[in-house]
Each structure stands twice: as C-alpha cells, then as structure tokens.
Amino acid sequence: MNIIDAIKKRASTRAFLDKPVSRETVTHILDAARWAASGANIQPWKVAVVAEKTKQAITRAILEARAQGVPQNPDYAYYPLQWVEPYKSRRKDCGYALYHSLEIEKEDTVRREEAWNRNYSFFGAPIGLLFFVDTVMEKGAWIDMGMFIQNIMLGALNFGLATCPQASMAEYPDIVRKCLNLSKECLLLCGVSMGYPDLREPINQYRTERVSVEGFTTWYE
C-alpha cells in the first residue's frame, strides 16, 4: 500500500475482532510514528498504551461516573461553544450517518446512550492509546501531537489494523490520570482505539463525505 492509498483508506473503526494485538506490533507502529515533525524537535508526545485489566479499569471508572451523573471535566474544549455553518451541518450529517448505520432512531435515547458509551470501552478494541502533553506546552505542541497521532493511524494500516481517534476519552481526564497514576501536569488530549476491524459490522461500512480541494483551497499566484 502506498502512502496516498493509506491516507484515503484510513477510517474511524468502531467494531473490532476479539483478536489480540501484540506489544511488538504496537512498538513497531510507535517506533515509526516518532519520526513525526515537531517544532524545534521538541517531540512533546507522551503515550499510555492500555490493554486488558488497565483498559477495563478505565472503562469501568468512567461508566460508573456517568451513571452517577458526574459532569465531564475535560482539560480543554475540543468543540466550539456555538456551532456555525458549515461545521454545524457537517456535524449533523456525521451523526446521522453513524446512527443510521446502527439503525438507531433519533428518538431512541436509550440505544443512543448505549452506543455512545461504547466509546469508553475503546469500542471493544484490544488496545487503547491515550495521548498526553505537558501543561507547560503551548498550541504549537498540539499541532505536533496531531501529526504524531496521524502517523500512528497510518502506521497501523501496515499491520492490517484499524483505529478510531476519540476525543471522548478526554472527557474525564482526572479519572484516567487516577487509573494511570499520572499527575495533573499531564494534559489528556484524546484516545485512539486500535485492533483488527470487524468488517461484518454495519458501523464499519459507513463513510463520511469530504469537501473537495476547491472547497477549501484558494490559490494565490
């Protein structure tokens, strides 16, 4: 698979096979991803790879907090407080396509909640990755983190693996930090689910649209 094909093939996967991913494979992917560009070569990335008992502990703690009505307390705001076009429509279309693939109606709040809660179990993937950056860093380091995380998702394809980047895993950073015994100096950016995709599941069949090059590019000559 060439690089262009890999970029186009990458998609958020939300159902995985019950098949383990070896530590060696994850290490290979991270070893390649670490060559991502970063300003002044600061390499701000910190990664927690969670599996088995630790992954289950995080899932259990977050779901218990949600059941008790504990409010989210993310370290930063991922989405805008006020949605405007064209982002509002894109978000709506994405949500519709996702729940339509699951055959969940808008009014079925119970099934929607159940589907959403699968975020916190990394969608059943055997591997979860959690990404942290030191609180002393500024927004430039976040750009570096994005390039690093993209490298991981593309590198996973080389081993037949699929991924799903998840802002949802950063909704309860204090819970995650407690489970991992990390200090508040580690700001939680997001998570990524990783495993072998279950291609039989309808949720892995839907795809979101992308704006054409002409729709986001202005040439100055």
pLDDT value of residue 206: 86
Please state, as a whole number, how many other Cβ atoms lie within 10 Å of the Cβ of residue 126: 21
Mean pLDDT of 82-100: 92
Is residue 102's pLDDT more than 90?
A: no
pTM as predicted: 0.95
| Residue ranges covered by each domain of the chain | 3-78+121-207
What is the per-residue pLDDT across 177-203, written as a single tens digit (0 to 9) for each? 999 999 999 999 999 999 999 999 989
Is residue 130's pLDDT more than 90?
A: yes
163-202 burial code (b ≥16 CB/10 A, e <16): bbbbebbbbbbebbbebbebeeebbbbbbbbbbbbbeebe
Tell me the residue type at 71. P
**Superfamily for domain range 3-78+121-207:** NADH Oxidase (3.40.109.10)
pLDDT value of residue 103: 86
